[in-house]
A = this chain, B = another copy of it.
Amino acid sequence: MPEKRTGGRSAAVLAQIRTAVEDLVRERGAERVTIPMVAERAGVNPTSIYRRWGDLPTMLNDIATYRLDPARPLPDTGELRADLVAWAGEIVEHYAKPVNAALLRGGAASAGETESDCLRNRRAEAVVLASRSGAPFAADDIVDLVVAPIIYRVIFLPWTLTDPGLAERCVDRLLATGRAA
C-alpha cells in the first residue's frame, strides 16, 4: 500500500503555503508572485514547493481550486427565484474579495486545457438548481446568463461588482429567457 502522508507536518506546511499564497496574491497580484517568495512568507523551504508542484502556475491552480467552497449547502427557500438570487449573490460576494478574484485571474491564465475544478463546481450547482424546479432552462443557460457575466466582471471589470442589483438582474434575465423558450 502506497503510504501517502497527508496529515501532521505536511498538512501544516500546506496550510502555511496556502495562506501565504493568498496573502501575496492579494498584495501583489498573481503574476508578481514567485515561489521563493511564497516559501519565505510561509516559513517553508522553497524546495518543498518545487518538489510538490514543480511549477508556479500549477501551484496557483491547485490553491485556487481548493479555495472555493467544496461542499457548502445550496440555498433552498422553496422559491426558485430567491434560491437563484441567493446563489448568484454568493458567487458575487465570493469574488468581490480581492484574494479570490486574483486567484481566479491567475487560474484563468493556465486554464483552457481541461475545465478547471473551480468552474466545474459551479456548473454542477447550476444543474442541481435547475433540475430541482423541473428544469425550465438548461444548465448552459445558467452558465451563460448568470455565471459568465459575473465572472467576466470579476476578471475585466472588477469595480462593477459592488453593484447591488447585479445578481438579481442576471437571474431575472435567466427567468425571462426560460419563460420565452
Please, which residues of chain B bring their CB within 8 A of the CB of A86?
none
Q: What secondary structure prevails in chain A residues at the interface with B?
A: helix
Q: Interface stretch among A3-11, A77-85, A150-158?
A: A150-158
**A105 in contact (CB, < 8 A):** yes
Given A31-B109, A176-B180, A144 and B149 touching (CB < 8 A)?
yes
Q: Is A48 an interface residue (CB 8 A)?
A: no
> Total interface residues on A, using CB and 8 Å?
37
Question: Beyond A176-B177, A180-B180: 15 further Cβ-contacts under 8 Å?
Answer: A29-B109, A101-B112, A105-B108, A105-B112, A108-B108, A108-B109, A111-B155, A116-B156, A119-B156, A144-B170, A144-B173, A145-B149, A152-B152, A173-B173, A176-B180
